[in-house]
Structure formats: structure tokens, C-alpha cells
Structure 1
């Protein structure tokens, strides 16, 4: 406690450039301030102030020490603010960016809205690489790796890509037994809107990836039409397992070439790195990490 008192006396004296003014702010005498700073200087082994009969000024060591003390005080204030904010109910506007495939995650989002009715969600769906900080997002859900040191990140779920087709399509066209059989089938592709490139199907044989130029019967820029077209029996689609788990369970879609597909994807939640997180952001990150895929029936291993 004596150390903290000495730091307080030092910071007040450094700000006011006067032991008298510092004592007045702290409710003690100028002599008490001078003695506290002298003890601090003795303990540190450096002189913090140049003293004269009319004024005091910081030494280079004192200026450096003052800068560090200010940062410590800011951290203490941030910790106090964090604790005080955690006592309040999560509320207010929360701006979140999701990938276009995020439309398939809406059951979890809907449950979150019902759980936290005082939080106003502003959802932006896009596959472009948004600037979380400059564009003012509170949080972003994305797949893949993250390299922005300004952001905090948390893995909230994993998924597999799988090939599916409707039973009636397979009855008409036959069931492919090897990846090369796909060359004789109608293939439904997802195109990345930001690049115009087709998403690669994760095909492999004997542990090695296959690069096969598949027929592009239909190409779409969002996932939902692929799911609809596959269910209608138009062709074979490559979709995330959480998007087709219910259809496979209901037998409206059939998984194909499971021994020849291998691709794990990761959903990450990103948010700006700050000294503390608001209650609304904490509520969102914790809820999504726990419940993102809880509502989906996963494919059997």
C-alpha cells in the first residue's frame, strides 16, 4: 500500500509540477508528498525530479516512469469498467458480418435473438473480406485462417464438405463409384462472388488429392440454390455437412463417395482486440461458440 501511495504522490506531483498542489489534490501536506516521493526514489535508486526553490521538473527517468505509471492506471480503470459492465444485462446494437453460407446457420442466430431480446442484431451477409475495425463490425464469422493481429479469434465449429444427390437423380443417372465417374454426371458448383472462381470439390484417391475438371452443369454464387437444385434431382452438389444433415436423415438427399472426400473446414468468430469486451459481445461469442451447430444433426462418421 505504501508503494501505491508513493506512485499516487509521484503522478500528482508530475501532473501539477508542484508538491504543494499535489498535496492539496491528495489531502495531505506538501511535506508528506515530498517524503513519499523521496522514499520512492530511494527504493528505485533513481532521481525522478529536478528540484529548485521555485519548481520541480521531471528527470528523463521520471518522464519514462510517469509514462509507465499512466499505462498501469489505464489498465486498472479498464479492469474496473469491465467488471462494472459485466454486472449489466447485454443490450444494444451488435453489428455482425457472416459469410453467405451463414444463412444456413440462422437457427442458431434465431435462438440467440430469443435468448437476448435486448440485443439488436444487424447482420451483413457477404463473402468478401471485410475490414472488421474500419467498417465498424462488432464481430465477424468466417471460415479459414486469420492473420490480422488486431483481432481476437475463437473457433466456434468445424464442418466437412460432402457430395450429395437426390434418390431420383441417382435412379435416373446411376450412383458414381469413383471420383472419375463424376465426369459423366451433372455437377452443381458454388462460385465465390469475390473472385469468380469455382469452389474446389475435395476429392482424393489413395490419400492424394485429385484435380479433376468436372462438368459445370449449374454454377451459382450462393449455397442455398445448390441445396434446392440437388433436392429437385437436377444433379450432384458439394455442400457443408451441417447444411445437408437433415436432408440426409430424411433421405431426400444421399451422401456420395464418402471414402473419396476429405476436407475439414473451420468457422471462426473474430472481433476487435480491446482491453475489455462489452456484455453484448461477450454474450454473442459465448453463445455462438456453444450453440452454432447444436441445432444441426451431424452426419454419421
Structure 2
């Protein structure tokens, strides 16, 4: 058991790149983590980390050992999962990364928490491209294609981008009939938090891009929804984020025949890990409730 404790201290330190963070995660001091790793290095006869006053990095031997340790803990987790499945309800901590737009999924996430109270959600909202394995996530929700062979994936659903404005704004400024008409409107733009570029509005190809004016810019979706509802301009927004507004009539779509877009949300998780009961029910719940047919 002492060996497993040392291995766990090593894995946590390696994934966090910090004895302090590893200690916080395991509820012990950073010095206790350092001593456990030192005992492990002494027993193995190799150096696992390069240490400096500010950072720790894996040696080549440490990187190889980390992969082996991950397999060991995966097998232990698999054994525990088999027992957990026989005991009934999914339980435990589930660490998931979601895009910033995932804040708009909160009604679905809240419904999941009510349905599975023994699953503890640890949610990280960011548009940064996280490393699912190295950063220790159970899974991530992302839009777009998957190119990482280390990951398994499941499609949660599809969404479309729509151009919308409030009925009051469209009554005052007129309903655009052609993309060029947008030049006379206040356009509310989304700026990507990762690269600072404005998101391109998906007007149909085969024609010159329209040089859209800028009424306002925001790097998250929620302010754009609010500004559009307040009659401050036309915004390009994902349909799942404005279902209620469209149903209640506080927003109306424009230029539907000129907009060409379909995106896909996927759940990704490490292929080396078993799909645990808590992750399986989470994926199923999002697929069934986030994008209902």
C-alpha cells in the first residue's frame, strides 16, 4: 500500500508539474509529496524528475514510468468500476472540460446533477485546447472534428449558427433581405478567446465576403444574446443557445436562406481508459437532453 501511495504521489506530481498542486489534490503537504517521490526514486535507482526552484519536469525515465503507472491505476480503476457497477448508482468525481459556450448548457448540467446526485461534477470552462490525458480530464466537450488517435469520441448532437435580431430592432432598422444589407446594420461579433480573431459569419460561399460593420464585440456568447435581445443589433449565435428566445419571440432569425452552417459537439475521453459508469451516464444524458430531436 505504501508503494501505491508513492506511485499515486508521483502520478499526481507528474500530471500537475508541481509538488504543491499534487499535495493539494491528495490532501497532504508538498514536502510529503517530495519525500514520497524521493523514496520511490531511491527504490528504483533512477531520477524521475528534473527539479528547479520553480518547476519540475519529467526525465526520460520518468516519462516512461508515468505511462506504466497510468496503466496500473487504470486497471485498479477498472476493478473498482466492476464493483461499483454491481453496487448500483454511478458515483464519484467527474472532471470535464467544456467550451466557454458550455455555460449555456447549465440547465442540462443542472438536470444531470439532480438525476445523479452521487456524481460530483468538476467543470472547467475554457476555449483553450486542453490536453485531455496530460491534464487529467475524464472527458471534454468540444465542437469540430477529432484528430487525436489517443481519444475516443461520441457525437452529442449538431447545431447551427443563425443570424438573429429583436423584433423591435428589425422594425426600426429594417429586415435585411440580402447579405449586403448587413452593411447598414449594427453587427454584434464574437471574438475567439484563443486567437483574438472575429468569428466569420457563415454566409453562403460563391460570393465575395461582406465587410460587416462592428456594433460591438464580445469573447463570450452570453453578452451577445443580451445585446441582441435589447435591440442593439444583429448577432450570429448557435441555435442551442437561443432556443428559448426564439420560442418566446424575443429574437427572430434573418437571412436564413443565405446562412450555411452546421457544427457538431462531441464528447472525448482517453481511449486507454474504460468508459466508467459516471462518464457513461453523463455522455448519455447530454446526448439525450442537450440536443433533443
TM-score by length of 2: 0.70
More displaced 10-residue stretch of structure 1: 137-146 or 85-94: 85-94
Q: 1:210 to 1:101 in 2, by over 3 A?
A: farther
1:274: how far off? Answer: 2.3
Distance in 1 between the 2:222 and 2:101 partners?
A: 8
Q: 1:184 to 1:172 in 2, by over 3 A?
A: same
Q: Encode CA deviations 1:232-287: one digit per residue, 9 max, x unaligned.
A: 00000000111122211211111000000010010000011125222211221222
Q: 1:176 to 1:193 in 2, by over 3 A?
A: same
Distance in 2 between the 1:275 and 1:124 partners?
A: 20
Residue matched to 2:237: 239
Q: 1:76 to 1:223 in 2, by over 3 A?
A: closer
Q: 1:85 to 1:188 in 2, by over 3 A?
A: same
- Match 2:214 to one of 213, 216, 222: 216
Gaps (5+ residues) in structure 1?
1-74
Q: Which runs of 4+ in 1 moved over 6 A?
A: 75-81
Residue matched to 2:55: none
Residue matched to 1:19: none
1:109-124 mapped onto 2 (5 Å cutoff): 109-124=109-124
Residue matched to 1:51: none
SS at match of 2:107: helix
1:80: how far off? Answer: 6.7
1:137-216 mapped onto 2 (5 Å cutoff): 137-204=137-204, 208=206, 210-216=208-214
Distance in 2 between the 1:77 and 1:185 partners?
A: 59
Residue matched to 1:106: 106
CA contact (8 A) 1:108 1:293 kept: no
TM-score by length of 1: 0.69
1:175: how far off? Answer: 0.8
SS at match of 1:208: coil
Gaps (5+ residues) in structure 2?
1-73
RMSD: 2.1
Residue matched to 2:271: 273
Residue matched to 2:256: 258
Distance in 2 between the 1:164 and 1:261 partners?
A: 11
Residue matched to 2:32: none
1:290: how far off? Answer: 1.7
Distance in 2 between the 1:118 and 1:288 partners?
A: 17
Distance in 2 between the 1:198 and 1:76 partners?
A: 45
Q: Which has the larger radius of gyration?
A: 1
CA contact (8 A) 1:203 1:210 kept: no
